Amino acid sequence: MGLFKSLFQTKKGKLKARKYQLGLQKTAASNENLRALFTWPIIDTFYEELEEALILSDTGLNTALSLSEALQKAVKKAKVNSEETLKETFVDLMRSRYITPSENPGASLEVHFIMGVNGVGKTTTIGKLAHRYKEAGHSVMVIAGDTFRAGATEQLKIWAERTGCEFYAKAEGADPSSVVFEGLQKAQENGIEKVLIDTAGRLHNKQNLMQELDKMVRVVRRFEPSAPHQRWLVLDATTGQNGMAQATVFHEVADLNGIVLTKLDGSAKGGIVFSIFDAFAIPIRYVGLGEALEDLESFDMDSYLAGWLGETF
């Protein structure tokens, strides 16, 4: 853990880093080939094998090639003369390349619009976020914008009850945009600080889904021109590079300003984090590291790198 020592210096940092480590255990194990490449002197095929290992870790081709090229340059520039300095150069490169900008300061009524294809973890993420915001002392309302799937409203209501936040919904099949508009009015009347809008992951077809999202975003803007402040896409990390295609489509409709990467505790390879940064420059805001209420952590690249590369790097 030499390279990530600084993470463990404060109690809070240590706790966070440990959560990442635990959650990313499987991911780190699947990166064994990548880790094993870092020896000194480097083998002749080091960069080719690095590219392969990165692709296997789900970074996609472009990110793998560009990281490998950047490392070659950095190794030439830095005085690399040992396994330790080689690893250090790689971690420094990753740190400086993937910097997460801080979240824009929220409005007094901050609207979060949570999107994603079906089953990625939108509703669960909303429950976890509501919990975090409540714990931080905010008043929170969740709005059931998924009126399409049977049981979706009930599922969100359960999260609302568990977290003790306000809940707004209409009957199944109601127009989601009207639910959102009325929910926002209610939130304003009640002086709510954070509103989390759940949306459908599946409608009759994909075009339908996008049209509906577009309409909802416009309705939110009509309510408050600066909203929705947070337009976040939820991606299931285990689907790997498929997530890139999803990000492209949702970005077009909603001008995303954040990503929540869920199920990182599963068999995800984890390289998608880097390809998202490279391709879209959309910051990852939170990561899901389990199914429980507490298993959502704000994204921290250093903790992530430490978890991704594993304890022995």
> Which positions touch ligand GTP (CB under 6 A)?
116, 118-124, 146, 149, 152, 201, 262-263, 265-266, 288-291, 295
CB of 47 to ligand GTP, least distance (A): 34
CB of 206 to Mg ion, least distance (A): 17
Cβ distance to Mg ion smaller for residue 122 or 131: 122
CB of 260 to ligand GTP, least distance (A): 9
**Residue 157 binding result from Mg ion, ligand GTP, none, given CB thresholds of 5 to 8 Å by partner type:** none
Cβ distance to ligand GTP smaller for residue 116 or 271: 116
Residues 231 and 282 sit within 8 Å (Cβ to Cβ)? no
How many Å apart are CA 33 and CA 30, to the nearest integer? 8
123, 177, 239, 262: which one contacts Mg ion (CB under 5 A)? 123
Cβ distance to ligand GTP smaller for residue 121 or 310: 121
How many Å apart are CA 125 and CA 264, to the nearest integer? 13
CB of 81 to ligand GTP, least distance (A): 41
Residues 231 and 256 sit within 8 Å (Cβ to Cβ)? yes
Q: Tokens in use for 120?
A: 């990625």
Residue with token string 């903790």: 303
CB of 45 to ligand GTP, least distance (A): 36
Count of residues near Mg ion by CB under 5 A:
2
Q: Tokens in use for 263?
A: 């199920």
Considering only residues 234 through 293, tell me which ones interact with Mg ion, judged by CB under 5 A.
Answer: none
CB of 118 to ligand GTP, least distance (A): 3
- Alpha helices in the chain, H assignment, sequence order: 11-23, 25-30, 32-36, 46-56, 60-77, 83-97, 122-135, 152-163, 176-189, 206-223, 242-254, 272-280, 301-309
The residue whose Cβ lies closest to Mg ion is: 123
A 10 A CB-CB count for 26 gives 16
Cβ distance to ligand GTP smaller for residue 51 or 295: 295
CA nearest neighbour of 269 among 313, 237, 292: 237
**Residue 118 binding result from ligand GTP, Mg ion, none, given CB thresholds of 5 to 8 Å by partner type:** ligand GTP
**Residue 291 binding result from Mg ion, ligand GTP, none, given CB thresholds of 5 to 8 Å by partner type:** ligand GTP
Q: Which window, 9-17, 122-130, 204-212, 240-248, contacts Mg ion (CB under 5 A)?
A: 122-130
The residue whose Cβ lies closest to ligand GTP is: 288
CB of 150 to Mg ion, least distance (A): 11
146: left (phi over 0), alpha (psi -120 to 50) or beta: beta
Cβ distance to Mg ion smaller for residue 122 or 132: 122
DSSP string, 265-307: TTT---THHHHHHHHH-PPEEEEE-SSSTT-EEE--HHHHHHH
Cβ distance to ligand GTP smaller for residue 149 or 251: 149
Peptide bond between residue 41 and the one before it cis (omega within 30 degrees of 0): yes
Q: End-to-end CA distance of the chain, in Å? A: 7
Cβ distance to ligand GTP smaller for residue 64 or 126: 126
CB of 267 to ligand GTP, least distance (A): 10
The amino acid that residue 244 corresponds to is: M
Cβ distance to Mg ion smaller for residue 206 or 222: 206
Binding site for Mg ion (CB under 5 A): 122-123
